[in-house]
Structure 1
Amino acid sequence: MSTDYQQAREALGIRLRELRLTAAGGRLTGPQLAQLLGWGHSKIYKLEGGRQTATAEDLTAWAAAVGRPQAVEELLVRLRGFEAQIRSWRRQLAAGHRPVQDTWNIAVGEARTIHVWEESVIPGMLQTADYARHMLLRYAELYGTRPDTEEAVRSRIRRQDWLYQGGHRLHALVWEAALHARICPPSVLAGQLDRLVAAVGMDTVELGVIPLGAPLRIPPASGFWVLDERVAVTEDWHSESWVEDGETVAMYLRVWRSLRQAAVVGAEAQAVIGRAQRAVR
C-alpha cells in the first residue's frame, strides 16, 4: 500500500473522529456510535485510525448517525480522491473480471483521444477475443478470481466499438517484444498479429511499434493509458492506479511522446509485425 494512499486514509479517519466528537446531539463515544450504526465498535476505531477503508455506504451512515448529513459530500470527495489513486486487484476482482472490464468501458466511452503504451502485451483495444481470453485466464489463475472469463471477454471486446465512432483517435505504441510474447498458443498469437496488421490501416488508429533494436531516449518501463489528457492509468501486480493530477498526467504524455520518437508506423510497422508473424508460423 502506498504512503500517499495510507496518508489519505488516515486523514479521512481523523475527519470521521472529528465528526463523532462534535456530533449534533453531543459528543459520542466509539461504542455509542457503533450501537447507533449497528456495527462492532472495533470498526469505528479501525476507520478512525486509517486501518480500514471506508465504503461510500459507511460514510453516508456515519454522517447521518452524528447528525451531520451535510458532511456526506465532503467525505465522498475525500474517498474518491484516494480510491482513484490505487485500486487493489484483490478488491477489484472480488466479484470477477467482468466488473473491471465494465468500469473500463465507461471510462473509455467518455474519452475522445487515448494514448497507450504497452511493453509486453497487445493493447486491449486491439485484442482479438481469443487473445483476450487467454490473457484473462492467466490473470484469473494468478489471483484466484471467480471464473467469469467469457463475460469479461465479451465486455472487453465491446469496448472496441469506440474505434468505429467518429471523432475518436487511439494512439497506440507497442514494443516489439509484445508481438512475440507466447502468453497464448501460436495459432492465437498469429490471429492477433493479423488483427494488428489490419489496425495499421484504420483511420481512428495510429499504431506505432518500437523495434527491439531502436535507440530509446528513456527506458520502456511499464505500460500505461492516458484518457483525454485528464487521467493516466497504470498497473502493477497488486493494484491499478488512476491519476487525475494534471502535472502527473502531463508527465505520462511526455513519456509517451518520447517513446513515440523510437517507433515506426505504417508500412514500417507492418514490416516489424511481419517478422513476428513469420516467427510464430
Structure 2
Amino acid sequence: MDFSQLLVALILGILEGLTEFLPISSTGHLIIVGDLLGYNDDASKVFKIVIQLGAILAVCWDYRERLTKVACGLASDRSAQRFVGMLLIGFLPAAVLGVMFHSKIKALLFNPLTVATALVIGGLVILYLEKRSYHPRINAVDEMRWPDALKVGFAQALAMIPGTSRSGATIMGGLVFGLSRKAAAEFSFFLAIPTMFAATAYDLYKNRALLDMGDLPVFAVGFVAAFFAAMWAVKTFIRFISNHTFIAFAWYRIVFGLIVLATWQLDLVAWSDS
C-alpha cells in the first residue's frame, strides 16, 4: 500500500464528509474528483460505500442524545414511536424505487457529465425555489405529519440521479412542502440514517465479491476522514442556515457543473462516460 493511495483516500474521505449533508451532491463530487484522481476502478466502488457509512455515523453521533431517547422510549413513548414512523414513511419511496432502478441508474448515469448536468439543473431549481414567497407551517420535525414525511420521501427519491443531492432534494422538498429551513435540514439528517444504512448494506452485498483485506488501510483512512469531516459539516451547516438562504449552494452547483461541462466540451479533461 503506497502513500499516494492513502492520500487519495484522505482527500475523498474529507470530500464525502463535507458534502454528504450539504445540498451539493456528495456522490457527484466523489464521481468527478475520483475520475480526476484516477480512482474509479472496482475497488473505488466499495471504498465510496464505506466512507458514506463513516459520514452517516457522524450524524448518529451528533444526534446521539435524541436517538438514544427515541430508542429507549420506542416501546412506550408515543412521540418516539411517531418519530420513527415518520422516518420509515419518508424512507419508503427511496427504498422501493431504489430496488427497482438502482442497478440501471448506476450503469447508465454514474459519470461526470451526468453529474455536472444534474448539478447545474439542481442549482437552477434552488434559485427558483428561493425566489418564491416562503411561509413555513412546520417549525420542528416533531410537528410533521405522515403526509409531510411521505412527500419529502418522494423528493428524496429524486436523488437516485447522481448529482441531484439527497440532502438537497429532501431539504428543498421540505421547504416546498412547508417545513422551516432548520426543520427541513434536521429531517434530512434523520432521514439519511435509515436511507444510507440500507443503501450501504445493499451496495456492500451487491459488491461483496470486490471486498479485499488488502484495501483495509485505504478504507480505514477514508472512513475516519469522512466521519470527522461530516461532524464538522453538520454543525456548521445548521448554524449557517439559521441566518442564510441556500442561494450560495445553488451558485456553487451551477459554477462547478459548468466548469466540468466546459472542460469536457473544450477537450481539456478526458472525462469518463461510464
Smaller-chain TM-score bracket: under 0.3
Q: Which has the higher contact order (CA 8 A, sep 6+)?
A: 2
Greater percentage in helix: 2
Q: TM-score, normalised by structure 2?
A: 0.21
Larger radius of gyration: 1
